[in-house]
Chain A
Amino acid sequence: MRTARVSVVGLAASALILTGCSSGGGGGDEGVSKDDAAKQQVKYEFGDEQASTGPAEEVKGAKKGGVLTVYQRDSFAHLDPAQMYVSDEGSMSTLIHRRLTTYKRDNSGKYTVVGDLAKDSGQSSNGDRTWKYELKDGVKWEDGSPITSKDIRHTFERQFAPFVSEGPVFIQQWLAGKSGTGYRKMLPDGPYKGKHLPDKVLETPNDKTIVFHFKSPQPDLPYALGMAGYAAVQEKGDTKEKYDKKPVASGPYKVASFKSGKSMKLVRNDNWDPKTDAVRHAYPDSHDIQFGVSYEASTKRLSSDSAENKTAVSYSNQVDASSMQEVRSNPDVKKRSLAGYQPYVGKISFNMDRLKDKKVREAIAYALPAKSLMQAFGGSGGGELGGSYLSPTVAGHTGADPYGKAKKPLGDVKKAKKILKESGKSGMKLTFAFQNSPEWQEFSIAAKDNLSKAGFDVQLKDIVSDTYYDQIGKTKNKYDMYHSSWGADWPSASTVIPPTLDGRQVQDGASNYSHYNNPQMNKEMDRISKITDADAAAKEWGKLADSILKEDLPDIPLMYYKQIQLHGSKVGGVVLNDVISGIDPTQLYVKK
């Protein structure tokens, strides 16, 4: 049942996008090459009990102690796991919250899904309809009380409460066997008014065991349980809405203070036992997080490497576009940078309900200047010109470029003009909606310039960053085209094509932003989803992606995002973690 997996991925990926993660970045002069991209094409396996047993593999040269300063652009809107949805919250949450499963990255860069609070990544039976998890011994809350199956039951039941509105809904939907928000009827008040999920849905036979019963097979449950949104919440300490500011920690750190928009201090949680944790370390004594530090500011501070910035880092801030020059040309800064591909493909989605004529879409596709977009994100450090739906990090990437976005990066205005004339729509009004950020502002100017020359009457519509994806996610939106980006959660095209191009997924808030619906292609997706040989499937996905692009053109891809992150010279253990799409906070240590 591939669609299940797809939805998990879609969820995580859109969460990443919501943070506006995809702005800027870039490597050294050579940057990251296609080989690195291929290296990022890895498989995630389900780990057994041995792989899930702590303690985690030591980071070379790591020492305990010290205070780590962390710069973050956005304050964490939520500390309650049930409300966690965006990637930077996810990064931080690995420090304070534990889930049933989690993703382990070993020192060679191999990823495995392992048991976190659970002894392993899960035992399935009944054709993946029943999943059993057993809790490890010695796992405790920050107050020293043991984490029991009752807490886990409570964690899932409270996801049904009306005040929980931001987090993932996949497991709730699977448990209820309903799509959309229908699951809420199953337990309208959550567990707070004495009602519980029946045992035939969620069973806790003893203090250590949790059993999930689904109506249909859910082979991807271990992936889903690894999401920040399904981290455990203590039943005794649950304060409902207030939990969002003061959660009970289960991870290696606990919240000492949290001032939204300003700062947060994480200190060691003495009741976390490293022997129970196969993934996390807790080298620094504390993490001092400062919010409201823009990409620009964090880049300037970290690149200066002055006294207090030596021990500073950011979980998710990237080098801003304007600072690429400094970071890439100053060798002292460059050596403290980490460059990599991001999983996202930046594309312009056409609203197929409004732009019905393919000729018009073609004219736009030819006219748009991909290079201007790359330039806006800081040049080759922030992105790579690309003309197809699958990024180089995804198996199945073909490198096809039917509209010449890489070959003619400035756009082919002449050709666009000719095609538009043929369609007889010269002078038509075209509304381009974009996020009100410096990068998209810059691109919008270039895009308008080219499109006007090709004969469009371009209306630029900037939308506040916070609400951008909500606005374009409305199926009845009144924009003709808008940018969107999509990234695979793990590098399979099955996590890219169906969520963004399957016409049966068109609904408010869904990620098929172009409202593309071609029954023939939908059928093809179902066919490929059933292919068990991963390599063969990858090839088929690549072919399908290219043919949709060539024949129907629902979106025009322009760029593959890259990123670069900086750290102070006295910070060690800095590795990029593909799962959280940034620096892994659990591996960091302070050099003496």
Chain B
Amino acid sequence: MLRFFSRRLAGAIVILLVISAVTFFLFYAVPRDPAMLACGKNCTPDALEVIRKNMGIDKPIPVQYWEFMSGIVTGRDFAQGACPAPCFGYSFANSDPVWDTILDRFPTTVSLSIGGAVVFLFIGLGAGMIAAWKRGTLADKVFSTASLVLSSMQIYFVGPLVMALFVFNLGLLDQPKYVPLSEDPAAWFMGLLIPWLVIQIIFTANYTRLARSSMIEQLAEDHVRTARAKGMSGKFVFFRYAWRGSLIPIVTIFGVDLGSLLGGAMITEWTFSLPGLGKLAVESVQKTDLPMVMGVMLFSATFIVLFNVLVDAAYAFIDPRVRLA
């Protein structure tokens, strides 16, 4: 177990290093000088020098990369103030600390992802299991067809449609917005309801199809058949044996989905203008805000890598046959 984790984590760190290097060096290839832009109209060579220094871009690029990466571990000192570890520097665009900004935006993305995930897991798995249970009946067909059509929808299409209907025509809901859960739970819930429902439409379908097929497969497995043959009730077998076995592929997909959602659901956040990581990423890219892009890129990648490891670990708990090696 320990060996498994240490090996996977070492691999994850290598991956993150490569991603950071690629991002850093590619962005420096852009022929735009962030110091020049920050310097404004009444710029002098002296002022430019000060700004370059403040931004930490007065040194050769590999040195800058080294300073940036070591800053994540040890922290750095900037003119804007000390930057404790993990230090991703200060934004070029508005001199905010990158790490604080990410932490500030992250709750929005977490609320969006977790809330959406809860909705799509419940509906998706529920519908999938009913379809498998009632295989071949009308309910099965309805669920399967619906999941097929819904999975073909796009957030940038459904989002505006749902808004037009519920917000502007019927006036049932308010425009989506993010209110911290700690501030006002009711407003938090109402503000994110539409995004959750829209994200859900797109994801649920995958889980319905997946749950249905893996459930059907499990029901055909030997140990399940044996259990049945021994005279256990259908329901008992369904929930005790088949259900457990069908979790493996679902956990895989769910881990990957959640990891990438937590890294920023760009299109969803953009569609509903929710101030999460995804929106931050798009904005920072538009402004060539390198520290911010780096920060978000590494943060997102960390989640993807981390959840991949977790998924593998989860196998072992669900299915004792799987050994971690």
Contact = CB atoms under 8 A, between A and B. Distances in A.
A308 interface: yes
Interface string B67-102: 000000000000111000000000101111000010
A533 to B, nearest CB: 34
Given A184-B46, A261-B101, A262-B104, A163 B79 contact: yes
A188 interface: yes
Contacts of A467: 32, 37
A301 B175 CA distance: 7
A297 interface: yes
B46 A162 contact: yes
B14 interface: no
Interface in A173-227: 181, 184, 188
Contacts of A244: 95
A184 B44 contact: yes
A296 to B, nearest CB: 9
A75 B94 CA distance: 9
Nearest to A163: B50
A262 B174 CA distance: 19
B136 interface: no
B275 interface: yes
Given A162-B46, A261-B101, A470-B37, A297 B171 contact: no
B275 A165 contact: no
Contacts of A292: 273, 275, 279, 283
Contacts of A75: 94
Contacts of A473: 41
Which one of A162, A244, A261, A304 has the greatest number of beta carbons of chain B within 10 Å?
A261
B46 A242 contact: no
A241 B80 contact: yes
Interface string B19-50: 00000000000001000111111111011001
A250 to B, nearest CB: 23
A262 B94 CA distance: 12
B96 A261 contact: yes
A38 interface: no
A188 B45 CA distance: 12
A259 interface: yes
Contacts of A403: none
Interface residues of A, number: 36
B36 to A, nearest CB: 8
B134 interface: no
Contacts of B287: 464, 466
B293 interface: no
Given A165-B51, A242-B80, A466-B287, A297 B273 contact: yes
Interface in B260-287: 273, 275, 279-280, 283, 286-287
A292 B275 CA distance: 8
A473 B41 CA distance: 9
A85 interface: yes
B252 interface: no
A316 B275 CA distance: 20
A309 to B, nearest CB: 8
Nearest to B32: A467
Contacts of A260: 91, 94, 96, 101
Interface string A241-255: 110110000000000
A424 B287 CA distance: 41
Contact of B40 (A165, A245, A293, A464): A165
A228 to B, nearest CB: 15
A312 to B, nearest CB: 11
Nearest to B176: A297
A565 B97 CA distance: 33
A445 interface: no
Interface string A344-361: 000000000000000000
A166 B40 contact: yes
B4 interface: no
Contacts of B174: 304, 306-308
A537 interface: no
Given A169-B42, A262-B275, A77 B94 contact: yes
Interface string B93-120: 1111000010011000000000000000
A300 interface: yes
B175 A304 contact: yes
Given A184-B46, A261-B96, A293 B273 contact: yes
B46 to A, nearest CB: 6
A259 B42 CA distance: 27
A281 B46 CA distance: 41
Residue of B47, B168, B279, B287 with most chain A CB atoms under a 10 A cut-off? B47
Contacts of B91: 260
Nearest to A183: B42
Interface string A277-307: 0000000000000001110010011001011
B54 A241 contact: yes
Given A259-B104, A261-B94, A301-B175, 19 more contacts: A75-B94, A77-B93, A162-B50, A163-B54, A165-B40, A165-B43, A165-B47, A167-B42, A169-B42, A184-B44, A184-B46, A244-B95, A260-B96, A304-B168, A304-B174, A304-B175, A308-B174, A467-B32, A509-B41
7 contacts: A162-B44, A184-B47, A242-B80, A244-B95, A294-B273, A467-B37, A509-B41
Interface of A: 75, 77, 85, 162-163, 165-167, 169, 181, 184, 188, 241-242, 244-245, 259-262, 292-294, 297, 300-301, 304, 306-308, 464, 466-467, 470, 473, 509
Query: 3 closest pairs, A vs B, by CB?
Result: A181-B44, A509-B41, A166-B40
